[in-house]
Amino acid sequence: MTPTPPPDEVYRGVTRVFAGVITGFGIAIIIVTLAHGGQGSAAGIWIGLIFTGLGLGRLYLSLRGGRQ
């Protein structure tokens, strides 16, 4: 039987998973917007870029913060 990981390791893992999900949503929003004929200035592109940036930024901070 494996021991239960400490709560902060579980938190870091869940944070990384959610960051990946948010990034995936952002990419999906961009793809759907482009598939429906959205131009470069469409609101869906900007929202997708924001989600992607937030997800990647959170993932970066999560990975960088684990090396203390």
Write out pLDDT tens, residues 11-23.
889 999 999 999 9
Tokens representing 17 are: 């998973």
Instruction: Residue 66: count other Cβ atoms within 10 Å of its Cβ.
Output: 12
Mean per-residue pLDDT of the chain: 90
Q: What is the pLDDT along the chain (68 residues), one digit of tens a residue?
A: 778 888 888 888 999 999 999 999 999 999 999 999 888 788 999 999 999 999 999 999 988 875 55
